[in-house]
């Protein structure tokens, strides 16, 4: 009986980061691009054994598929060919993730579906497939309340860190770590695949294939089942993956020599796709997964300390919730107003195109609202999710107001959206602008580097709030 090895690589670049590096730190940008391009080139002709899972954030896919960016870096990397090579399903399994790479448990539940929906849209377009079996939570940030959402999007399994997996019935250490399990939340369940933290740390920092083979053999020695050993790290960060010298990077020092050892019969190990393993061996036993991310270079992962360590970071997370609440209130008003306008136009013989446009806008927002309401009925509140890390993620601080003045929010709530003299398509565009700024603000990198990048989140949140404040003022004037 041999062990199965599932290799997982996470690939993410924040919005505009590669463009900025090309301007300011050109060699670092080239290292990242070469690291991405090296993956398929290192595996050409290895289709008999090589198996790699890739998570590519929506912002990275957006950059790589941008005609302007492709033209700019054409002399460095051919991004079009790179994306084409990554469609090779003999070598690569693409994992679903969030478009802007948010730490999902730290953002409002109402925003999570759109991150997943937007990623699926660009991935289906670029990779020419409608289904993605596995889900990679950005930063491996997982909580049980995500299960209904992941199932709603059709995901079969999710990757979680071994530090957070707790058996609900007696299991050996080997079984807990090297077998897929079932996790349930309410009426929904999903398969969880466990990342081996220690072997993943070795993968990130550099390891010898012989050492890896022996270490896996020792760790799985007492398994009475086919073990699935999962290692997961970033795939384009650090010198081990970025080194451009043949014989000095992950692919030439470790992975290809490992494949040679397997072919020579010197390793009782087989690279495997997770979906193939599940088709053959299934999942066994039920577990609970505690809320948490993977470990970083500075923190073990418990409590999301990397993203919540300072008051400034916690203030940004709290503001996510405040701004999201305002935005989704407007999305709901827009849906109600557009639907009403469409009905009125039909009764009064108004322009057919405007009526159809309004109905489409209203239906889209209504579907969004129904999704969020159904999800909220099953999930814990955002406050409860954030309580695990000591952050008030959905309760904005109160603001003192002049009691002699009318409550602006009450006036806005009372004002029917149809009283805003704005065509439905124009209102939809403004809300879309507000929404993507909010989603981009929720990029994990904005709150990863202590307080260094928090201003990026603040800038996007300011744009969203400016748009919503303008809409509030228009509603008040027309109420």
**Segment 80-127, tens digit of pLDDT:** 999 999 999 999 999 999 999 999 999 999 999 999 999 999 999 999
Give the angle subtended at the CA of 216 by the CAs of 215 and 221, to the nearest 5°. Answer: 105
- DSSP H helices, 289-397, are 305-308, 311-348, 352-378, 382-387
Does residue 336 lie in a domain region? no
State how many domains the chain has.
2
pLDDT tier at 297 (50, 70, 90 boundaries)?
confident
Residues 139 and 220 occupy one common structural domain: yes
pLDDT at residue 381 greater than cutoff 50: no
Separation CA 6–CA 131 (nearest Å): 19
Find the length of the chain: 479
Whether residues 251 and 393 fall in one domain: no
Tens of pLDDT along 240-268? 999 999 999 999 999 999 999 999 999 99
According to the model, what pLDDT value does residue 394 have? 40
Distance separating alpha carbons of residues 337 and 63, to the nearest angstrom:
36
Can you tell me the distance from the alpha carbon of 154 to that of 95, in angstroms, rounded to the nearest whole number?
12
296 and 320 in a common domain: no
- Do 298 and 395 fall within a single domain? no
* 299-308, 383-392, 466-475: segment of lowest average pLDDT: 383-392
Q: Is position 170 within any domain?
A: yes
Give 190's strand partners: 183
Q: If you average pLDDT over residues 118-145, what whole number do you get?
A: 97
**pLDDT of amino acid 344:** 55
3-class DSSP state of 54: strand
Residues 141 and 22 in one domain: yes
Phi/psi of residue 132, nearest 5 degrees? -130, 120
Same domain, 149 and 17: yes
Domain residue limits at 176: 3-306
The helix (run of H) or strand (run of E) holding residue 71 is helix 67-72
How far apart CA 213 and CA 408 sit, in angstroms, is 66
Q: Which residue has the higher pLDDT, 388 or 14?
A: 14
Residue 421 is predicted with a pLDDT of 64
- Say whether 61 sits in a helix, a strand or coil: helix
Alpha carbon of residue 302 to chain centroid: 19
Q: How many percent of the chain have pLDDT more than 90?
A: 76
Q: State the pTM of this model.
A: 0.85
The DSSP element (H or E) to which 269 belongs, if any, is strand 269-271
Q: Are 286 and 323 in the same domain?
A: no
Comparing CA positions, the residue from 86, 158, 84 lying closest to residue 116 is 158
Residues 121 and 266 in one domain: yes
* 40-63 pLDDT, tens digit each: 999 999 999 999 999 999 999 999
Q: pLDDT by residue (tens digit) across 446-462?
A: 999 999 999 999 999 99
Looking at the DSSP bridge assignments, the partners of residue 142 are 292
Q: Which of 40, 1, 6 is nearest to 271 (CA)?
A: 6
């Amino acid at each position: 009986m041999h062990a199965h090895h599932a290799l997982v690589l996470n690939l993410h670049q924040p919005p505009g980061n590669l463009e900025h590096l090309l301007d300011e730190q050109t060699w670092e940008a080239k290292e990242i691009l070469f690291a991405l391009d090296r993956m398929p080139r290192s595996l050409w002709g290895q289709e008999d054994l090589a198996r790699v899972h890739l998570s590519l954030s929506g912002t990275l896919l957006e950059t790589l598929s941008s005609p302007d960016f492709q033209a700019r870096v054409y002399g460095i990397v051919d991004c079009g060919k790179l994306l084409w090579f990554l469609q090779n399903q003999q070598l690569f399994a693409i994992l679903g993730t969030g478009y802007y790479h948010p730490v999902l448990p730290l953002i409002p539940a109402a925003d999570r579906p759109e991150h997943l929906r937007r990623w699926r849209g660009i991935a289906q377009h670029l990779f020419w497939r409608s289904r993605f079996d596995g889900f990679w939570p950005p930063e491996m940030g997982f909580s049980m309340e995500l299960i209904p959402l992941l199932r709603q999007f059709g995901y079969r399994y999710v990757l979680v860190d071994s530090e957070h997996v707790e058996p609900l019935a007696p299991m050996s250490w080997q079984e807990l770590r090297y077998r897929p399990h079932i996790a349930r939340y309410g009426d929904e369940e999903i398969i969880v695949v466990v990342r081996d933290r220690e072997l993943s740390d070795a993968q990130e920092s550099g390891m010898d294939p012989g050492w890896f083979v022996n270490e896996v053999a020792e760790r799985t020695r007492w398994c009475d089942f086919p073990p699935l050993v999962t290692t997961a790290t970033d795939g384009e960060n650090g010198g081990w993956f970025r080194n451009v010298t043949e014989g000095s990077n992950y692919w030439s020092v470790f992975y290809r020599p490992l494949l040679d050892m397997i072919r020579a019969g010197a390793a009782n190990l087989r690279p495997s796709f997770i979906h193939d393993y599940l088709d053959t061996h299934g999942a066994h036993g039920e577990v609970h997964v505690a809320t948490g991310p993977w470990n970083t270079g500075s923190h073990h992962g418990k409590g999301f300390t990397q993203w919540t360590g300072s008051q400034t970071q916690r203030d940004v997370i709290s503001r996510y919730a405040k701004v999201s609440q305002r935005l989704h209130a407007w999305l709901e008003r827009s849906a109600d107003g557009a639907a009403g306008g469409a009905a009125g136009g039909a009764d009064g013989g108004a322009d057919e195109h405007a009526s159809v446009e309004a109905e489409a806008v209203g239906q889209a927002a209504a579907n969004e609202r129904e999704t969020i309401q159904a999800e909220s009925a099953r999930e814990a509140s955002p406050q409860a999710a954030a309580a695990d890390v000591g952050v008030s993620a959905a309760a904005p601080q109160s603001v003192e107001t002049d009691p002699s003045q009318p409550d602006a929010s009450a006036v806005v709530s009372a004002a029917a959206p149809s009283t805003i003299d704005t065509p439905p398509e124009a209102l939809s565009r403004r809300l879309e602008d507000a929404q993507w700024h909010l989603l981009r603000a929720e990029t994990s990198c904005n709150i990863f580097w202590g307080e260094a990048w928090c201003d990026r989140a603040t800038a996007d949140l300011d744009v969203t709030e400016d748009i919503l404040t303008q809409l509030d003022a228009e509603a008040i004037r027309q109420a």
